[in-house]
Chain A
Amino acid sequence: MPTIAVDAMGGDHAPDEVVKGVAQVSLATDIECLLVGDERRIQSVLEGVSYNPEHIAILHATDAIGMAEEPRQAVKRRDASLVVGVRAVAEGRAQALVSAGNTGACVLACARHFRLLRGVRRAALASVYPRQREHGGQDPLALLLDVGATVRCEAEELVHFALMGSVYARRVSKVASPAIGLLNMNMGSEEMKGGEVLVEAHRRLRQLPVVNFVGNVEGNDLVRGRADVIVCEGLLGNVALKLIEGVSEVLYDVTGRAGERRVAWRLGLRLLSRGSERARALTDYTQYGGSPILGFEHVFIKCRGRSGARAVANAVKVAAKAVRDHVPREIADALAAAR
């Protein structure tokens, strides 16, 4: 069983929710978790919940990086739980790291202590998000990368992202032949749209036999089932992701308020409650736990800052799955095959 290091001090609800998530994993699986952080605080939370001590070890770290800290300065602190956790993985004490902490610090800590896979020029921060399914067997979640690790990209880097996303979707989401889309405009002759980088990336992806490239996808395709993996540069990906999240939150707010205003609307919403519960379940981020940072020799799963115990538990399971399925090695092999 793999050992998964978990940054116990990262996240809005750390260490309580992180430790509770790990405790859940310890009872339900054989995954060994290495909780990194203030031993005393971790132990105090642990003793208040059910857990299996055989699957939990603690690596003490005296410091913690705040969610709003400047990442470049923060990762210089060697005793910060995130940095200690990343080092533990780099030195082989654990095979993957899970953190709900400061995203920028997570990416930078990986860049400082993990080696990039051979042939990878830049790592990609991916995001798993819910989307509409085109057919029954389709995975309800899609992968968008990069969402912020690399602001501007070259065509070659976008091709690498496509290969990395394809391997991750195949191994972790168990999609046999993931459909890869390039986020772009899609009017007229699509090959010529989006500027030099995107045109070149499109051309190269078309020629790659190892990926199932479905062409350019537009913004509205993000939430449809056209592609399982959508590739873009970090700036665009980050904006797109926040837009999806923002629209979803506004929708829930508006429906909630509508119910408060009129009795008839409230009744209508009550009638629709089963449907809206299903929609809520579909968009519930806690079920998929976290998203990977791809391109390094080690697995890193980034949870959302507001992750609760369930999200952390699922992120640990995703990390273990990625380790068991040798995702970094598969990515290296795919890159080598594409060269």
Chain B
Amino acid sequence: MRIRRARPGAAPPASGAPLLCRWDLDKTYLRSEFDSLRSLLRTAFERAEDKVEVPGVAELIRALKAAAERHGRKALVYFVSASPPQIGAAVRKKLALDGVPYDGIVFKDQLAHLRRGKLRNLREHVGFKLAELLRGRLAAPPGAAELLFGDDWELDSLIYSLYADVLAARLAPARLEPLLRRIRVDPGLADEILALAGRAAGGERVARIFINLERRSPPATFRLFGPRVVPTFNYFQTAAVLGAEGYLGAEDVARVGRVLLEGAGYTARGLENSLGDLVRRGFLEPAAAGALGTRLRATGVLPPADGPRARWRRVLGALGRLRRRRRMRAGRAAAGEAPPLDYDAILARLRPAAAAASGRERRGGT
């Protein structure tokens, strides 16, 4: 599967085959607070009724399921969380309260690490998540495409990219092994991952990786991860990209937008600006944004076009779209297929100290 920019009216890829949607929980689905020990403890003991979801996320998951059904296939929703299973009951109840249908949820058994005295593993999530994703893949129907959803608090973009490249056989175990060592994944777990990776590799399966910019990280931070990773500032943006790629209909995108308007203090103008931001960042083709915009305007999610000023804006917009389209085409022609990710550069950016140490180690050892 080639990584594509959004196309207007594109059919969902590989229709008939199920769609796997894998979600991180904290900061992606839930607005969990980890900023202080106090907030961490509060999150751990929070009741389901007190947990707050990120605006629009529940509607988006429901819409993904519904849209897949309309296309005659299944969308399977899984949550992979590094939180301990002790909060599982509250999380499951919260998902039920939100009316979110899901097909599985995995927690990280932190108590087991504590009992074994592996304190470093409490904070190391790359190994845990990668292993769980690979296990999930081996249990999934063959040929299923995947959409992955994470956030900018931890290393979701790295974990998901490693996973996607392992599946696509771009990261052979021999190349993955030193990366896991640099990330300081527990050696036992690393061996398990390498074994799973060998079995799971089979083709391009991950269509998109969405990163919820909960911390408002600069989008440029994610350029190293290539066009497969889509950093979004709100779930309306996520829905818009999914809509343009055919995973959702315009009415689904409108529903997500309406949730933000009615329950989260967003404005129609703000959503319009969010759409413009996606176009400028190259994740939505201007034509797709235009088509979607017309439908959303009709449903009141975007502000109405008004009078002579709107005509003036349309003319300017059309010129802008023409210019951007030319630029995008030129960019694509020059780039061709997305180049493989440079994990050394990514790790150096994410963990400069560790990368330097690892570099010294390698120089000393060889």
Instruction: Contacts A55-B273, A56-B273, A60-B316 given; indicate if A50 touches B217 (C-beta within 8 A).
Output: yes
User: Does B142 touch A at the CB level, under 8 Å?
Assistant: no
A59 contacts across to B, CB distance below 8 A: 316
Instruction: Contacts A43-B280, A54-B233, A57-B273 given; indicate if A91 touches B312 (C-beta within 8 A).
Output: yes
User: Does B364 touch A at the CB level, under 8 Å?
Assistant: no
User: Does A268 touch B at the CB level, under 8 Å?
Assistant: no
For the complex, what is the distance from the CA of A29 to the CA of B274, rounded to whole Å? 16
B269 contacts across to A, CB distance below 8 A: 32
CB of A47 within 8 A of CB of B273, answer no
User: Does B45 touch A at the CB level, under 8 Å?
Assistant: no
- The 8 A CB mask of A186-228 against B (1 = contact, 0 = none) is 0000000000000000000000000000000000000000000
CB of B233 within 8 A of CB of A49, answer no
For the complex, what is the distance from the CA of A40 to the CA of B274, rounded to whole Å? 17
- The 8 A CB mask of B81-124 against A (1 = contact, 0 = none) is 00000000000000000000000000000000000000000000
CB of A91 within 8 A of CB of B273, answer no
- The 8 A CB mask of B249-271 against A (1 = contact, 0 = none) is 00000000000000000110111
CB of A93 within 8 A of CB of B277, answer no
CB of B234 within 8 A of CB of A54, answer yes
- The 8 A CB mask of A32-55 against B (1 = contact, 0 = none) is 100000011001000111111111
CB of B316 within 8 A of CB of A53, answer no
For the complex, what is the distance from the CA of A40 to the CA of B327, rounded to whole Å? 10
In the complex formed, the residue of A with least CB distance to B277 is: A53
For the complex, what is the distance from the CA of A39 to the CA of B216, rounded to whole Å? 21
In the complex formed, the residue of A with least CB distance to B278 is: A53
User: Does B198 touch A at the CB level, under 8 Å?
Assistant: no
B327 contacts across to A, CB distance below 8 A: 40
User: Does A27 touch B at the CB level, under 8 Å?
Assistant: yes
User: Does A108 touch B at the CB level, under 8 Å?
Assistant: no
In the complex formed, the residue of B with least CB distance to A87 is: B312
B312 contacts across to A, CB distance below 8 A: 91
User: Does A58 touch B at the CB level, under 8 Å?
Assistant: yes
User: Does A92 touch B at the CB level, under 8 Å?
Assistant: yes
- The 8 A CB mask of B309-339 against A (1 = contact, 0 = none) is 1001100100010010001000000000000
For the complex, what is the distance from the CA of A57 to the CA of B316, rounded to whole Å? 13
For the complex, what is the distance from the CA of A133 to the CA of B218, rounded to whole Å? 42
User: How far is the CB of A54 from the nearest CB of chain B, in Å?
Assistant: 3
User: Does B349 touch A at the CB level, under 8 Å?
Assistant: no
**Among B215, B273, B320, B323, which residue has its beta carbon within 8 angstroms of that of A53?**
B273
Instruction: Contacts A60-B316, A91-B309 given; indicate if A47 touches B216 (C-beta within 8 A).
Output: no
- The 8 A CB mask of B59-73 against A (1 = contact, 0 = none) is 000000000000000
CB of B281 within 8 A of CB of A47, answer yes
User: Does B136 touch A at the CB level, under 8 Å?
Assistant: no
For the complex, what is the distance from the CA of A148 to the CA of B333, rounded to whole Å? 52
A60 contacts across to B, CB distance below 8 A: 316, 320, 323
**Among A43, A48, A49, A54, which residue has its beta carbon within 8 angstroms of that of B273?**
A54
- The 8 A CB mask of B25-66 against A (1 = contact, 0 = none) is 000000000000000000000000000000000000000000
User: Does B219 touch A at the CB level, under 8 Å?
Assistant: yes
CB of A27 within 8 A of CB of B309, answer no
User: How far is the CB of B234 from the nearest CB of chain A, in Å?
Assistant: 7
In the complex formed, the residue of A with least CB distance to B282 is: A43
CB of B281 within 8 A of CB of A50, answer no
User: How far is the CB of B57 from the nearest CB of chain A, in Å?
Assistant: 17
**29 A-B contacts, Cβ less than 8 Å apart?**
A32-B269, A32-B273, A40-B327, A43-B280, A43-B281, A47-B219, A47-B220, A47-B281, A48-B218, A50-B216, A50-B217, A50-B218, A51-B216, A51-B218, A52-B216, A53-B233, A53-B274, A53-B276, A53-B277, A54-B266, A54-B270, A54-B274, A57-B272, A58-B276, A59-B316, A60-B320, A91-B312, A93-B309, A93-B313
B contact residues vs A (CB 8 Å cutoff): 215-220, 233-234, 237, 266-267, 269-274, 276-277, 280-281, 309, 312-313, 316, 320, 323, 327
Q: Report the 4 A-B pairs with minimum CB-CB distance, sorted nearest first.
A: A54-B270, A53-B277, A50-B216, A47-B220
For the complex with contacts A54-B267, A58-B280, 11 further pairs of A-B residues with Cβ separation under 8 Å are: A32-B269, A32-B270, A32-B273, A39-B280, A43-B281, A48-B218, A53-B237, A53-B273, A53-B277, A54-B233, A57-B272
A contact residues vs B (CB 8 Å cutoff): 27, 32, 39-40, 43, 47-60, 91-93
